[in-house]
Amino acid sequence: MTISQARRYLALCVLLGFTGFAMAQAWPANPIKLVVTFPPGGSTDAAARIVAPKLSERLGQPVVVDNKPGAGGGVGLGMVAKAPADGYTIVLASAGGLTANPSLYKTLSYDPQRDFVPVTGFGASPFVLVAGTELPAKTVKDVIALAKKEPGKLTYASGGNGTAMHLSGELLKSMAGVDIVHVPYKGSGPAVLAAMGNETSLAIADLTTIKPQIQSGRLKVLGVMDKKRSVLAPDMPTLAETGLPGFESSGWFAILAPAGTPPAIVKRLNTELVAVLRSTEVRERFSAAGLEPMPSTPEELSAFMRSETLKWAKVIKDSGAKID
């Protein structure tokens, strides 16, 4: 590179940096679209609609929820990956879409690591391992003992092949060194009913779906699958406490922006979203929807996504899990 070329390159870098700074200074001057990779009516959609007006108040611009479900979150993520990196389109996506899909799908219209910049964690919905009333087990330690005594006899229900609950079951089997047969159903509701009717030995579902059946005594709780007890059900022990040290799995969600979004805009989004998620009102309304707020820094979310991607890639490869 000649001196003249180097000067032109330096001038271009300065110009691009100034342009990004100017854009961030003027932002937001227009409404912001929050793409939600879930259909309307579910708990995650409800949480997005709790946060959107609060974020709007802090930014001084409307925040419009746009539901784009499909392909395990791939439809919405693929759309936002191609959106302008100007801070006016952000996405609320699940753990599966961000960390498991690259190993489950042969082709994706997006790359979670390359096409996005993390903004903040959003919320988490704890998974619970439950048993039908006829299974002679009170803890996951009991289940492991039964499974080792009669390999392949016990079964667990999930909401479908390739779902987070399915992969959580495969992680459990791998860590415990047991053979428990997976039985996929079309949704968490039917999976829970299968365990209630003792069609399967076990079921894995999110706490919101399963809590009424637990309270009625029609299912036995074997443990929350997260690394710590849930604030939504503090009396429920974790699997790590009751026989499977180190086990950790939950349904979590995060907000990201297209790659190349100016850092100043990402920082502003993070600051305002974290303030909203930490507010007492939002915490209470999330709890009613079965979610725990999960605010984070962009750096924390980025590191968490990388570690989760590696974890689920190994589980998927070792188990041979496929998507429906």
Structure confidence by residue, pLDDT tens digits, 191-241: 999 999 999 999 999 988 888 888 888 999 999 999 999 998 899 999 999
Specify the CATH number for the domain of residue 15.
3.40.190.150
Please indicate, yes or no, whether residues 168 and 154 belong to a single structural domain of this protein.
yes
Please indicate, yes or no, whether residues 117 and 160 belong to a single structural domain of this protein.
no
DSSP assignment of 201-270 equals SEEEEEHHHHHHHHHTTSSEEEEE-SSS--TTSTTSPBTTTTT-TT---EEEEEEEEETT--HHHHHHHH
In a domain, 324, yes or no: no
pLDDT, position 8: 61
What's the average model confidence in pLDDT over 263-290? Answer: 97
pTM, whole model, 2 decimals?
0.89
Please indicate, yes or no, whether residues 119 and 101 belong to a single structural domain of this protein.
yes
In a domain, 140, yes or no: yes
Please indicate, yes or no, whether residues 100 and 164 belong to a single structural domain of this protein.
no
Structure confidence at residue 3 as a pLDDT band (50, 70, 90):
low
pLDDT, position 121: 99
Q: Answer whether 273's CB lies under 8 Å from 254's CB.
A: no
Number of folded domains in the chain? 2
In a domain, 232, yes or no: no
pLDDT, position 158: 97
Beta bridge pairs of residue 252: 124
What's the average model confidence in pLDDT over 167-186? Answer: 98
pLDDT at 6 over 80: no
Please indicate, yes or no, whether residues 192 and 208 belong to a single structural domain of this protein.
yes
In a domain, 229, yes or no: no
Please indicate, yes or no, whether residues 94 and 11 belong to a single structural domain of this protein.
yes
Helix axes 263-278, 3-26, angle to 10 degrees: 30
Please indicate, yes or no, whether residues 83 and 141 belong to a single structural domain of this protein.
no
For 191, the domain range is 126-224
pLDDT, position 211: 84
pLDDT, position 248: 95
Q: What phi and psi values does residue 216 have, to the nearest 5 degrees?
A: -80, -10
pLDDT at 25 over 80: no
